[in-house]
Amino acid sequence: MSSPAQVFLVGTGPGDPDLLTVKAWRLLQNADVVVYDRLVSEAILEQIPAGVTRIYVGKKTGNHTLPQNEINQLLLKLAEGGHSIVRLKGGDPFVFGRGSEEALWLARHGIDFEIVPGITAASACTTYAGIPLTHRGLAQGVQIVTGHSQADVPLELDWQALADASKTIVIYMGLANIELISYRLMQAGLSANTPAAAIQNGTTAKQRRLISTLATLSDDVKQQQFTAPVIFVIGKVVNLASELDWFATEQAMGEYFADREQSQHG
């Protein structure tokens, strides 16, 4: 009798394949089928061995390759077919990744599954941008929220609780609503001069980092034409970004080598 099929809900982190856990990489090497999201980077997909079936089920605002209920049905069908399935998710499956919804679906249909944590964007992207989530004297805690709202449903957060100057605020999926979010936070009492940052494509060679303030964040993001995926960080810890800017992006390295070549031939 064959062993029961397994579905592995695997977090991949925000994009840098070096941030994959050893377990995540090992499961990829032994998968029959890999089902993956839009936010799983190409560099991570390159870790999948040749011959492994890949199924893309990515979602973005207003354009779902497969609705969530159909993704659930797909995982069930694959598992019942006796396959070993790795369900790849950007970041961590249990942090705004709908991993718990898929796990509940599998559990209620008698399918064995495992959850493999990934490094969530709130931790990885801020680190690569030189912004600590906590720092003695600057931030005593972290609040992580989603800035995404369903169509025709207003964004409802506990603005009064969120506008806490002693904590760092990290906002996922907030690009479309960042003007509203900034306004509501200031309305709730957070200073307009509170340091703020936007990080696009964090941990990858295409990472972009913008340092601003709560009052100017929305306009700056529009002017710089930031596009998803972006996370926002609001709080005093953003002031450390310039001193802790350790990550050399593709653009920064290109400028470095161009300057060095010019000086050598100048």
For residue 248, being part of any structural domain is answered with no
pLDDT at 153: 78
Same domain, 20 and 106: yes
Whether residues 85 and 129 fall in one domain: no
Residue 83's pLDDT band (cuts 50, 70, 90): confident
Residue 88 is part of a domain; what is its CATH number? 3.40.1010.10
Express each pLDDT in 174-188 by its tens digit. Answer: 999 999 999 999 999
Confidence of residue 259 (pLDDT cuts 50, 70, 90): low
Q: Would you say residue 264 lies in a domain?
A: no
Task: Give the whole-angstrom CA distance, residue 134 versus residue 157.
Answer: 22
Give the position of tokens 């898929």.
102
Active site residues: 37, 59
Alpha helices for the chain (secondary structure H): 22-29, 42-45, 68-80, 99-108, 121-128, 159-162, 178-187, 217-223, 250-265
Q: 86-118, pLDDT tens digit by residue?
A: 999 999 999 998 999 999 999 999 999 999 999
Cis amide prior to 229 (ω within 30 degrees) = yes
Among 69, 86, 119, the domain-final residue is 119
Residue 136 sits in the same domain as residue 106 = no
Closest among 190, 98, 88, 90 to 143, alpha carbons compared: 190
Q: CB of 88 within 8 A of CB of 10?
A: yes
**134 and 200 part of one domain:** yes
Residue 81's pLDDT band (cuts 50, 70, 90): confident
Within this chain, do residues 143 and 99 fall inside the same structural domain, yes or no? no
Residues 6+ apart with CB under 8 A from 138: 235, 236, 237, 239, 240
On whether both 147 and 226 belong to a single domain, the answer is yes
Does one domain contain both 167 and 108?
no
Task: With respect to residue 254, please indicate whether it lies within any of the assigned structural domains.
Answer: no
pLDDT in the model for residue 151: 67
| pLDDT tens profile 145-177 | 999 877 667 888 999 999 999 999 999 999 999
Asked whether residue 255 is assigned to any structural domain, the reply reads no
Q: How many domains does the chain have?
A: 2
- Domain-ending residue, one of 119, 143, 159: 119
Looking at the whole model, is its pTM more than 0.85? yes
Q: What token pair was written down for 262?
A: 């010019």
Same domain, 94 and 164: no
| Same domain membership, residue 151 and residue 228 | yes
- Residue 208: which domain range? 122-240
> 151 with 210, same domain?
yes
Do 100 and 86 reside in the same domain of the chain? yes
Predicted confidence band of residue 1 (pLDDT cuts 50, 70, 90) = very low
Instruction: Say which CATH number the domain at 225 has.
Output: 3.30.950.10
61, pLDDT greater than 80: no
Instruction: List phi, psi (to 5°) of 239.
Output: -65, -15
Considering the domain architecture, whether residues 91 and 134 belong to the same structural domain is answered as: no
